[in-house]
Chain A
Amino acid sequence: RKEVEQDPGPFNVPEGATVAFNCTYSNSASQSFFWYRQDCRKEPKLLMSVYSSGNEDGRFTAQLNRASQYISLLIRDSKLSDSATYLCVVISGSARQLTFGSGTQLTVLP
């Protein structure tokens, strides 16, 4: 089992739709979690951290479920500009090593 797993997609949704991605992790002692966004042939950029209590930033909501060992990202009212690959990142271990998921590709259609 991979340490961090994501549904690769692609997710093709119409503008205005709500879409959700999940990311599962295998290390129950993982400490920190993030969502990054990566545009085609560009570097990843931090989208948001994921807090235990869940957090929201505009149209984006991130949640953590420690019992089931997954994090989620919900995007409401999708825009064309949301089209990208979304990478989840998990920090684990005493060395606080980052592990990236392989990414979920989202295409928002007009």
Chain B
Amino acid sequence: DGGITQSPKYLFRKEGQNVTLSCEQNLNHDAMYWYRQDPGQGLRLIYYSQIVNDFQKGDIAEGYSVSREKKESFPLTVTSAQKNPTAFYLCASSIQGQNYEQYFGPGTRLTVT
């Protein structure tokens, strides 16, 4: 089945540690995105990539880093510089120029204590 996978579903880390969240898609989509969702709030864009080896900061990129070495993969690293990392992280992808419908992965719930 085609789709987007994120792993793990739940992740627990100690404060001060970097952690990398995985996102893989086999939809052959060019564009990929990372969002963060906090309770009772909408999605906020962290980073996005429209093509391999290129990515752009979103609205809340501070404390995060990404890479896009392969079309299928867009991992997100939450660094120790991110002040409030506990959140629900969603990865999405879309076809460029196709009404921008975004397909989401199941998400990773990160808890940092």
Q: How long is the Cα–Cα vector from A32 to B100 in the complex, in angstroms?
A: 9
B101 near A44 with CB under 8 A, answer no
B100 near A98 with CB under 8 A, answer yes
B107 near A43 with CB under 8 A, answer yes
Q: How many residues of A contact B (CB 8 A)?
A: 20
- Chain B residues in 8 Å Cβ range of A96: 100
Kindly identify which residue among B44, B99, B106 contacts A43, using a CB–CB cutoff of 8 Å: B106
- Chain A residues in 8 Å Cβ range of B101: 34, 46, 49
A22 proximal to B (CB < 8 A): no
A103 near B42 with CB under 8 A, answer yes
Q: How long is the Cα–Cα vector from A109 to B38 in the complex, in angstroms?
A: 26
- Chain B residues in 8 Å Cβ range of A97: 45
Per the 8 Å Cβ criterion, residues 36-79 of B in contact with A are 40-45
Q: Known contacts A4-B42, A44-B43, A103-B42: does B104 contact A98 (CB below 8 Å)? A: no
Q: Known contacts A46-B101, A96-B100: does B45 contact A102 (CB below 8 Å)? A: no
Q: Known contacts A32-B99, A49-B99: does B104 contact A43 (CB below 8 Å)? A: yes
A100 near B42 with CB under 8 A, answer yes
**Chain B residue with Cβ nearest A4:** B42
- Chain A residues in 8 Å Cβ range of B80: none
- Chain A residues in 8 Å Cβ range of B45: 97-98
Per the 8 Å Cβ criterion, residues 47-67 of A in contact with B are 49
- Chain B positions within 8 Å of A, measured between CB atoms, are 35, 40-45, 88, 90, 99-107, 109
